[in-house]
Amino acid sequence: MTKRSSPSPELNDRQLSVLYCVARAYVSKGKAVSSKHVLESSNLDFSSATIRNDMRKLEYLGYITQPHTSAGRVPSDKGLRFYFESVKNLSRELDAPSGDIAVRTTNVIGDIEKLLRTTTRFIAKAAKTLVIIEKPDVGKLTVRNIGITEVAEGYLNFTIVTELGVTMNVTVFSGPLQEGLSDLRTTVNDVVAGRTVGEIRHGIRNVKLEDERWYRKELQQIIYFLENVFDSEMDEENYRYGFEFLMSNPFLDWDDIVGIVQHVENPSSLDELLQDLCQKEPVSESRVFIGEEIGKAQLRNFAVMIAPYSRHEEVLGNVIIISPKVVLYEKVFSQLEFAANRLTEVFSSR
């Protein structure tokens, strides 16, 4: 469940409206909000003195703060959480962010790699921020076949094709082959075709060479190849696009950019970040983390939004949007869920 910050029971409806107006104005313009602006931009029929008193109470309760250089107020992370929870359901009712996305992704359903890459770029451009889409968890994918080609003397390239069309390439040192390349392809495919990558990995790790037939050099070489192919680091595990939008965003400084690069460009750091946010468990529903909720000082000016995509009930991967925390949450969150829902439709139909 997404971390929530429920409004204080001490807040009345008017004060909740004032808080919403302050947060909405701030994420729209990125400027501190005065009591005068709240009155001018809302239908609240109260005096400016009443609104100022409400804003003082909101500040006391930690929903808004006063920048040193301004007489206005800006929402804290707690205030932004209130705003997101207020608009979350509205964002789900918004239309798809772009008809182009729906039309163009339909044309690449046959090429899952292209679908993921294209969706990443379209959502990033629509949201004007960084988007990361994880490739499906390869351990859950069934191997359709493996192509084997000689790329140099003593080296073979193994191309693993799964039932979803996701491919993986691994180059392995072979040395002299114990059997011909054609026979090797046949033998390897007889062993792995129709099994999930996870099953194959488990089987390889638990092979016991007790039966004398396993001592044949040909089979020893097959086991060697399978160990190197399926226990190796696979290709890049995600697609990402949109760093340029973060670098040009006026609400982020150079320290912010350095921080996000350090956490995203290093695969292990990104995995650690996502595991920390999701409490080491797979995401089963959309989650949003704002500012200090992320738990990383370098990312205090960001929001991280995560939504899973699935094949039927089986979660395959996540769509992740990383944006400045000053953002129209209803717009970006709708784009996040749109992408996750479309990918779920595609994978569930295969």
In a domain, 6, yes or no: no
Q: How far apart are CA 318 and CA 119, in angstroms?
A: 13
**Is residue 294 helix, strand or coil?**
helix
In this prediction, residues 233-237 reach a mean pLDDT of 62
**Is residue 213 helix, strand or coil?**
helix
Q: How far apart are CA 149 and CA 223, in angstroms?
A: 18
- What CATH number is associated with residue 55? 1.10.10.10
In one-letter notation, the amino acid at residue 22 is V
Q: How far apart are CA 350 and CA 343, in angstroms?
A: 11
In a domain, 162, yes or no: yes
**What per-residue confidence (pLDDT) applies to 103?**
38
In a domain, 116, yes or no: yes
- 83-97, 121-135, 169-183, range with greatest mean pLDDT: 121-135
* Mean pLDDT value across the chain: 84
Q: Which residue has the higher pLDDT, 81 or 190?
A: 81
Q: How far apart are CA 261 and CA 269, in angstroms?
A: 10
Statement to judge: residues 81 and 212 lie in one domain: no
Statement to judge: residues 243 and 337 lie in one domain: yes
Statement to judge: residues 177 and 312 lie in one domain: no
In a domain, 105, yes or no: yes
For residue 290, give every residue at least 6 positions away whose Cβ sits within 8 Å of its Cβ, in sequence order, or none. 77, 80, 81, 84, 303, 325
Statement to judge: residues 333 and 305 lie in one domain: yes
Q: Are 299 and 289 in contact (CB under 8 A)?
A: no
In a domain, 318, yes or no: yes
Give the pLDDT confidence of 287-343 residue by residue, as tens digits: 999 999 999 999 999 999 999 999 888 898 999 999 999 999 999 999 999 999 999
Q: How far apart are CA 263 and CA 276, in angstroms?
A: 12
The side-by-side arrangement of strands in the sheet containing 155-162 is 143-152, 155-162, 167-173
Statement to judge: residues 279 and 242 lie in one domain: yes
Q: How far apart are CA 287 and CA 300, in angstroms?
A: 17
Residue keyed to tokens 């002299």: 176
- Nearest to residue 274, comparing CAs of 314, 311, 245, 240? 240
Residue keyed to tokens 């089987």: 203
Q: Give the pTM.
A: 0.81
In a domain, 2, yes or no: no
Statement to judge: residues 55 and 111 lie in one domain: no
Q: How many residues does the chain have?
A: 350
- Nearest to residue 311, comparing CAs of 140, 175, 187? 140
- What CATH number is associated with residue 251? 3.30.450.40
Q: Using CA of residue 191, residue 195, residue 201, residue 204, what is the dihedral sign?
A: negative
In a domain, 328, yes or no: yes
95, pLDDT greater than 60? no
Domain count, the chain: 3
74, pLDDT greater than 80? yes
- Nearest to residue 287, comparing CAs of 305, 273, 267, 312? 305
In one-letter notation, the amino acid at residue 294 is I
Statement to judge: residues 130 and 277 lie in one domain: yes
- Among 177, 212, 230, identify where a domain stops: 230
**What per-residue confidence (pLDDT) applies to 117?**
92
Range of the domain at 155: 139-230
Q: How far apart are CA 53 and CA 16, in angstroms?
A: 13
Statement to judge: residues 217 and 117 lie in one domain: no
**What per-residue confidence (pLDDT) applies to 43?**
82
Give the pLDDT confidence of 180-230 residue by residue, as tens digits: 888 888 888 988 889 888 888 887 776 554 454 444 566 677 777 787 777
Q: Are 168 and 154 in contact (CB under 8 A)?
A: no
Statement to judge: residues 58 and 108 lie in one domain: no
Percent of the chain with pLDDT over 90: 44
268, pLDDT greater than 80? yes
Statement to judge: residues 78 and 53 lie in one domain: yes
Statement to judge: residues 51 and 182 lie in one domain: no
What ranges in the chain are assigned the alpha helix state H? 13-29, 35-40, 48-60, 77-93, 99-106, 112-127, 181-192, 197-205, 217-230, 243-247, 254-264, 267-277, 329-348
Residue keyed to tokens 């792995």: 192
β partners of residue 148: 158
Query: ∠ CA(203), CA(205), CA(208), 5° rounding?
Result: 80
In a domain, 5, yes or no: no
- What CATH number is associated with residue 206? 3.30.390.10
Q: Using 50, 70 and 90 to split pLDDT, how confident is the model at 237?
A: confident
Query: ∠ CA(102), CA(130), CA(282), 5° rounding?
Result: 80
Statement to judge: residues 306 and 256 lie in one domain: yes
